Structure 1
């Protein structure tokens, strides 16, 4: 049970890291593309209508980009809210109620020692409390 939980955690973390790196690369490319398109639009409008209209056209392009980014952010935020959190909670509860996990924890206490384990458990408890507080705030 614990092995499956750890494997799922590793797999989801690896997938998240790959997706994040791809998103960062796409964002950088989009930013560079937008910069060149704005420069081209600025020069085109500058030659035809003057400096003031060129600056307004550049501002309009960046406004449209900002509006599209805000719309994408809201859509992503709503999609995350729709996903059920109950499945993750139930798998954690199942893992903690498994007697094999309890036996492994007792064995870890024997090997590490109680004096060394108390500070680690305190830090883990604080981290767990902060995570629980953050997940309940999102709901």
Structure 2
């Protein structure tokens, strides 16, 4: 049984390696194809309009491709942020709706007492507010990398 498991792992790793190398070969071939297409377009524009126009046409083409890629990147980044925010809200809602958390909170209130707990909660709320404002300010001032 253990040998069968090891053989299955070896076979799946071999298949993954073969597929990865095939995908790499396809990516290289696609890159070369695009390079020749760009060269052909450049030569065509060069013969009909001149060197400056050919260079400007190539630059414009790659600028448009860059703008499209940047738009897709921005859209995916926003979508990922929305998903993360939804997950955080769902996790927070699930924590406070958990009966074990509520029972633990009630036991803490009973053990400490309401009069002693109010100042502790006030200081904790203040600390939480400061941490939230500090993290919001740092996320707005620092550029995010992905």
TM range (shorter): 0.3 to 0.5
TM-score normalized by structure 2?
0.40
TM-score normalized by structure 1?
0.42
> Taking CA–CA contacts closer than 8 Å with sequence separation of 6 or more, which of the two structures ends up with the larger relative contact order?
1
